[in-house]
Structure 1
């Protein structure tokens, strides 16, 4: 695939879109060299690692400012030393203050920073060529840190994924990366963010490939590994070589436990999908109730969140201390179930009022509460064979996440990295696979894709558009690939066409005027059939295909597309006759599929 100029956007074909001077062929080839991609992955990983350090510092700073504690969930119900006269009632005001700060910030500068972040990254990779606004990284950092620091019951993993991905996308734009490379750099940012946050480099790799890219390849694996390792090194230098949870060793001592773990996996899937439905039910309720300006919504809604925190202060922030205590058997079964329901309510309310934060950590929290309560129950029923309660908590964490996000590989890997205990792998895999299968039976969507589907976006389906025959070419065309200068030698053109995913590229003269299109087939035939007498440049091989304009009906343009060589044709501006986009077979098929 070829580079996508920042000024050419198929969704917004406005402004001066006459192709400027194309990059030198050798420079374009160099940008796509494998070693360059690997070097860029390291740079993105370093940026994601540094972003994680800054983000964690912001969370700690805002938490201390607004609660007076490093992590209020570790000492729930304590007073705020900054305002001791308020006693524990300060939690009624902390979310309001936080909402007054991050509400206007998100509403003014980056509305996509609202919510849990991962769906926006998935959408950018699936349908927007990996393009993410650079300001998202800054706004997401501040908004999520303020949300968590003021008591929002969300995780820091979703935000750092969006922050790292925005950094990767920005670097891709700066160097003029192709669309494929841009998507890969976005995935590298996501991998680095997860790796640095969890101190789990393998989990970062599989999270990026399983959820962000949705595909596996040797190149993607190599690049995301480099980014993940780089981010982990930076994270470990800043936070130490420790997992985000300190968990005891657990062992499976009796075969009967496998049946108990399997049942837990099925129950966890139901709980995971219930959390998903409840999250969006509360969001819908907040949308229905709120009638004021959006920038004020987090502050007003913060009053409701404050009431939840007053009743159940363990819900303040991410809640890792509570999670860790639950895995160690520190709570009774009844209170564990109360914490489970409380987390669902607090997280859903935080997102519903416009807060910014992830749902990854809340899923692990809910799973730990479920697993611990389940473990206590089976221990009473089968005291001789049930085993340690903590083992059920760990498996509950992975199973609930897998049931909600449907990312079984990531769930297995991250729990293994957290424990380092191989003996837990077999029951963990069993429970997670059953949770994933049960979740798929219950719903076609995950906690991430449901957010997009509610907006009318299907990641596995076509891009949004009108019915075929009614829409214009300009509504479905893709960004224009970087054109070849007419003076490009034939051998260089062959290299660039082989790197392109289009099979054909537009050609421009020294003044940037459109000359025509050259296809990989034409160049290959010229070099093979007459190597000595072949034209020296692509100018002699460039031919303008039949004209397709941006305002032309798609049904009419399909005939031209099918008759052309290569995998696409340029779309011309109606007035000036210069290319403004690219109509490919893939984009046409997406439009066709929209009416199926």
Structure 2
């Protein structure tokens, strides 16, 4: 028996792990943590592979050496390099066309998957996003690879979790493991990777998710470090001291970071709107955007790609001239907005770090012109603003604070960084309400603000909640006939329909038997039609409404029960739903969600 179990394949031909392994993982948190380690290592492999591919593309297309980073060079050897982003845009369109021939629907990112789908993602679609990201970054578009890293890592985690038939909450945790391993590997920052998963992919921190997420992040870092050389450490020379003036400086810098983040997010959607209003064909937009990026790169190559090389230069202790910093800041922000707005695939994670560092240096240079004594150290300001702007755009104040700590290895600096991160996060939440990811969901019409699991709410529809045994009467029935057929105590309410079984309203049995009605004149007497007692004639539920929409409809109509009709045109009655049952089921699901957060 042991030999047979040992010879079982990891994944069988039905895409499932052997039942023995599935039982172990479903039964024990320790084995879920082991699965998290595997997921983190896979993410580290993907990060190393995507990084190597983009670096190779940079070397081939832009003529740089293997020791150089594209955004760190002052000049490029080839005159024709400016057409590379446009060529990448055309290749991107070709890949998208090929994908549409075999796949339907839009790919789902980790946040949306965990918020609405219980962690279920398509690995094929995730691979497609990763390929698009590599093409975009590799051909010089001003986008980061981090979105592709987390997409492919989380997609692989979801596929692995489905092979083990993980429960909904466990699958969401494993998707977080994929993202944690990817971000941890990308920055050699296990703490930042773990909290990226907690804050952005899972939406909360729980003891149940701590072990698998933390181990996944560590395994991702270790795996990637064996394959590629980490290059995000910052040599910090400044002495960190925070007095009263420094506190004011940090608050102002946090406010500026929040404002700059909102402007950049608005700029991306502004470029998209311009393309739509210009009626430019979708297939040519990435090429046109690439041409603009190429022309901007002729001014300075530092705007190309995500900016890994350039940020190392910006985070040095020196302070360039204010005009030069502002010039690069504007060009990089414009390049990022054009890249994403024209259809290139990627994210603003690393671009926000680069832009934030530029903002911090510009802030110091501006204060130096007014009052040198009040100016913060340029390197400190760069790191602090880098965190503030990243929090504004990406979200995750603790993630970005820990990333700054792991990049600088400077614990005292963390106090200032955390202060700015909190100010920036609070300002964006109060004035704008979205990070870049959730802003994109908002534009698509998705009602989610984080990765917290609200998918159960959308799955719990009126069709699943309603009673099907609805008692109906024709609208031609008189009140006396109604009293005879429905004596007091027989039921609470009856639905009235017309001759074609279309919904007319609801009659309460108590209304029909009330003493006032019994002694009324001919208008409301026993021979009057039952339609004179109708309630909620214009209020009904539809089967596809979710439980939240149903609760809102009950509240708006001040009703205790509503009929369910099959459509706004036919209006045939298919069921009945009471407010009490809706609220009870809503409470039960909330309690289940609370228990899962507590690890029960």
Cα distance in 2 for partners of 1:145, 1:59 equals 6
Q: In the alignment, which residue of structure 2 is the partner of 1:58?
A: 53
- Counterpart of 1:106 (choices 87, 96, 104) is 96
Q: In the alignment, which residue of structure 1 is the partner of 2:113?
A: 124
1:209 positional shift: 0.6
1:346 positional shift: 0.5
Gaps of 5+ in 2: 1-15, 463-538, 548-563, 594-600
Give the total of aligned pairs. Answer: 467
Residues 453-509 of structure 1: CA deviation (Å, up to 9, x unaligned): 111101157649999954325x759xxxxxxxxxxxxxxxxxxxxxxxxxxxxxxxx
Residues 393-446 of structure 1: CA deviation (Å, up to 9, x unaligned): 000100111122332111111111110011211111111111112212211222
Q: In the alignment, which residue of structure 2 is the partner of 1:49?
A: 44
Cα distance in 2 for partners of 1:305, 1:554 equals 58
Cα distance in 1 for partners of 2:195, 2:582 equals 41
- Counterpart of 1:378 (choices 358, 363, 367) is 367
Q: In the alignment, which residue of structure 2 is the partner of 1:74?
A: 72
**5 Å matches for 1:554-593?**
556=575, 558=577, 562=581
1:560 positional shift: 12
Cα distance in 1 for partners of 2:304, 2:25 equals 50
Cα distance in 1 for partners of 2:582, 2:428 equals 45
Q: For the Cα contact (< 8 Å) 1:251–1:424, is it kept in 2?
A: no
Q: For structure 1, which segment, 390-399 or 99-108, has the greater mean C-alpha deviation from structure 2 after superposition?
A: 99-108
1:405 aligns with 2:394: yes
Gaps of 5+ in 1: 1-20, 81-86, 478-547, 569-583, 590-596
Q: 1:554 to 1:96 in 2, by over 3 A?
A: farther
Q: For the Cα contact (< 8 Å) 2:234–2:315, is it kept in 1?
A: no
Q: For the Cα contact (< 8 Å) 1:46–1:231, is it kept in 2?
A: yes
Residues 532-561 of structure 1: CA deviation (Å, up to 9, x unaligned): xxxxxxxxxxxxxxxx99999999364599
1:166 aligns with 2:237: no
**5 Å matches for 1:233-382?**
233-240=222-229, 242-253=230-241, 255=243, 256-292=245-281, 294-328=282-316, 329=318, 331-382=320-371
- Counterpart of 1:35 (choices 30, 34, 40) is 30
1:451 positional shift: 0.4
SS in 2 for 1:556: strand
1:225 aligns with 2:214: yes
Q: For the Cα contact (< 8 Å) 1:133–1:166, is it kept in 2?
A: yes
Q: In the alignment, which residue of structure 2 is the partner of 1:471?
A: 542
Q: For the Cα contact (< 8 Å) 1:42–1:226, is it kept in 2?
A: yes
1:305 positional shift: 2.3
1:188 aligns with 2:177: yes
Cα RMSD of the aligned pairs, angstroms, is 3.6
Q: TM-score, normalised by structure 2?
A: 0.71
Residues 209-257 of structure 1: CA deviation (Å, up to 9, x unaligned): 10111111011121100100100111111223x4524332332246122
Query: Greater relative contact order (Cα 8 A, min sep 6): structure 1 or 2?
Result: 1
Cα distance in 2 for partners of 1:554, 1:334 equals 69
Cα distance in 1 for partners of 2:58, 2:178 equals 26
Cα distance in 2 for partners of 1:368, 1:563 equals 51
1:99 positional shift: 1.6
Q: For the Cα contact (< 8 Å) 1:403–1:435, is it kept in 2?
A: yes
Q: For the Cα contact (< 8 Å) 2:565–2:574, is it kept in 1?
A: no
- Counterpart of 1:198 (choices 187, 196, 202) is 187
SS in 1 for 2:372: coil
Residues 320-379 of structure 1: CA deviation (Å, up to 9, x unaligned): 222222222353211111111112111111111211111111111111111001112223
Q: 1:290 to 1:90 in 2, by over 3 A?
A: farther
Q: In the alignment, which residue of structure 1 is the partner of 2:471?
A: none
Cα distance in 2 for partners of 1:446, 1:407 equals 9
Cα distance in 1 for partners of 2:429, 2:232 equals 30
Q: 1:188 to 1:384 in 2, by over 3 A?
A: same
Q: TM-score, normalised by structure 1?
A: 0.71
Cα distance in 2 for partners of 1:458, 1:553 equals 29
Cα distance in 2 for partners of 1:268, 1:321 equals 22
- Counterpart of 1:458 (choices 441, 444, 447) is 447
Cα distance in 2 for partners of 1:321, 1:218 equals 37
1:169 positional shift: 0.7
Q: 1:24 to 1:204 in 2, by over 3 A?
A: closer
1:187 positional shift: 0.5
Q: For the Cα contact (< 8 Å) 2:70–2:309, is it kept in 1?
A: no
Q: In the alignment, which residue of structure 2 is the partner of 1:90?
A: 81
Residues 183-214 of structure 1: CA deviation (Å, up to 9, x unaligned): 11110000000000000000001011101111
- Counterpart of 1:157 (choices 143, 146, 149) is 146
Cα distance in 1 for partners of 2:590, 2:75 equals 57
**5 Å matches for 1:488-527?**
none
Q: In the alignment, which residue of structure 2 is the partner of 1:393?
A: 382
Residues 113-139 of structure 1: CA deviation (Å, up to 9, x unaligned): 9xx99x832111100111111113322
